[in-house]
Amino acid sequence: MSEVNENPQEATQTPAGGNSGKLKTSEKVSVGTGGLAVSLGNQSVRTTGQSVLNMMLGISNLWVGIVLAIPLLWDAITDPIMGNISDNFKSKYGRRRPFILLGALLMGVTFASIWMIPLEWSDAGQLTWFLVTSLLFYTAYTIFSVPFISLTYEMTPDYNERTSVQGYVTFWNRVGELTYMGLIPLGAILVAKKYGFDAGKELTNPERIEGIRMAAAIYGGLGMALFGALPAFFGKERCYELNIKEAHGQKNPFWKTAKESLQNKACALLCILSVCTIVAGIFASNMDWYLLIYYLSDGNIELGTQWKLVVTIGYATVGIIGIPFIVWLTGKMSKIHGLMFVYGMMILNAVIRWCVYRPGRFDVSLMWRSFEQIGTSLGAIGKSLIWLDPLTGGVFWIGVGVLMQSMIADVCDDDELKNGHRREGMFGAIFGWATKASFSVSLVLVNIFLGTIGFDSTLSEQTPQTYLNMRLAMVLGAALPAVLCFIMLGFYPITKKKADENRRILEERRGKV
């Protein structure tokens, strides 16, 4: 069992007598912007794709789940390859930044291409278009995300400062969460403005798709290409020279590096925790979306998506506000305690969701065109109690985004101590592989589950038993993995005391970086 009852005062001492590892706020902010591109790339394709392919184009749940999962699996497979390439890459600009810049630009272009689906094609043709363009996008996403995440690991050797760095990245992740569900509503606004539709005009599916294409160009150009490129210009690669020195001019073989990384107990446990956490999150976030549209909005996609956007904005807002609290909490206690708090809140959130997502709370349409309508909509949101969902569950993704990523940085020190190499790229890729494979498997499971319980997207109203099964999946699918994660944390080996000791030994052995 790990030492969860650590002495905070002992752990705050500066190792090796001098280099605190503190970073300028400006550097953390500018590098953190890459978190927006990571968030939009990770979320927008699968969520918007689910809506476009299933709800708008009427393609079956099973095929939608498979087509959404394949690019994520491809991304997960290419991550370790990209990690090894990045770890061994040499250039006058470093081993991370050239890939970050290239990947960000390619993401912007390929993301926009996904939504150019030819509407006159058959279901098979539309699925093929989506699959091919998604594979291109996720290849670009890998080129960007793996070196970017690796850069955040190597920016500082300080235990608490690593959490601070990931806090800035997660802040921009949450900005992405504030906006990724807005792609469909933004598309509706843009297309309505183009054709001069009034508020009562019901958009056709071709008009919806046209709006999504316009919104996707904005998301890809600004959110991915521009903000994703900033870390390439302002980030500093602390371990570049050290990696060249430790490698002695030789490259780390892919399979040997992967094997040694997978044998690290702490990394393996973090991957398992990530899988359980993401499965819980995907089931909860997909079930609440379908419930909001079909169970609570009578099959109205625009209205249900607006309510989902309210939930998403709430999660992002609480997530942003919660970041400094979690960083403060882990500074006073440990990252292990911080994760325990997160999983405790997940369990509480599951109970609250069962009570909140009920008919009769969401009868008022949300309108935002005048102050009177805004007041009415805000009043409806308040009476619905839907705000209790993000209030209790908003720290959910901080566990993966801030704490687990910071813990992977500690794993890199542990690995260097045992094997004599800096391999942030490989560890980041393995953790990313576990994360993305979890998303892929979860999407397939969600769509299989929907098919098993008799859900039919062509019907505006489902059977009472279908709604009950969806509510149970939303609650138990989140609570049970959280309980399991809470128990597994007791076996995590790298405590705050152990991390500081690893740093002290490394700096005595090869000096400060």
Secondary element (H or E) of residue 113? helix 97-114
pLDDT of residue 106: 96
State the first-to-last Cα distance of the chain, in angstroms, to the nearest integer. 32
- Residue 142 φ/ψ, nearest 5 degrees: -65, -45
Question: Per the structure block, which two tokens stand in for 99?
Answer: 């890939």
Residue linked to tokens 């009043």: 379
Q: Give the number of other CB atoms < 10 A from CB of residue 295.
A: 24
pLDDT of residue 384: 87
Q: Give the contacts of 378 (CB within 8 A, at least 6 positions apart).
A: none
In angstroms, rounded to a whole number, what is the distance separating the alpha carbons of residues 380 and 367?
10
- Residue 375 φ/ψ, nearest 5 degrees: -60, -45
How many Cα atoms are found within 13 Å in the side-chain-facing hemisphere of 2?
23
In angstroms, rounded to a whole number, what is the distance separating the alpha carbons of residues 456 and 74?
29
pLDDT of residue 6: 41
Residue 15 is given by DSSP the state G
- Global pTM reads 0.71
3-state secondary structure 449-506: HHHHCCCCCCCCCCCHHHHHHHHHHHHHHHHHHHHHHHHHHHHCCCCHHHHHHHHHHH
In angstroms, rounded to a whole number, what is the distance separating the alpha carbons of residues 474 and 284?
4
In 3D space, the residue among 321, 327, 354, 352 whose CA is nearest the CA of residue 341 turns out to be: 327
Could you tell me if 397 and 319 are in contact, meaning their C-beta atoms sit under 8 angstroms apart?
yes
Domain regions of the chain by residue span: 24-510
pLDDT of residue 270: 92
Q: Give the number of other CB atoms < 10 A from CB of residue 373.
A: 14
3-state secondary structure of 393: helix
pLDDT of residue 82: 92
Please state whether 499 falls in left (phi above 0), alpha (psi between -120 and 50) or beta: alpha
pLDDT of residue 102: 95
In angstroms, rounded to a whole number, what is the distance separating the alpha carbons of residues 284 and 286?
6
Options 2.60.120.10, 1.20.1250.20, 3.40.50.10490, 3.60.20.10; CATH for 24-510 is: 1.20.1250.20
Question: Per the structure block, which two tokens stand in for 181?
Answer: 């569900």
- What residue spans of 333-463 are helical by DSSP H? 335-356, 371-384, 388-393, 396-398, 405-419, 424-452
Residue 119 is given by DSSP the state T
pLDDT in tens, the chain (513 residues): 444 444 333 333 444 444 467 888 888 998 999 999 998 887 788 888 888 888 788 888 788 888 888 887 888 788 889 988 988 888 888 889 999 999 999 999 999 999 999 988 998 999 999 999 999 999 999 999 999 999 999 888 888 898 999 889 988 887 887 777 778 888 888 888 787 766 556 778 888 888 889 988 999 888 899 999 999 998 888 866 666 665 555 666 677 777 777 788 899 999 999 888 888 888 788 888 888 888 887 777 777 878 888 888 888 788 888 888 888 888 888 899 889 998 999 899 999 999 988 887 776 777 777 888 888 888 888 888 889 999 988 887 777 778 888 999 899 888 888 887 788 888 888 887 787 778 777 777 887 888 888 888 777 778 888 888 888 888 888 899 999 999 999 899 999 899 999 989 988 877 776
Residue linked to tokens 């279901």: 123
Residue linked to tokens 């970017």: 148
Q: Give the number of other CB atoms < 10 A from CB of residue 66.
A: 17
Residue linked to tokens 């098919």: 451
pLDDT of residue 13: 42
Secondary element (H or E) of residue 237? none
Could you tell me if 401 and 173 are in contact, meaning their C-beta atoms sit under 8 angstroms apart?
yes
Amino acid at 197: F
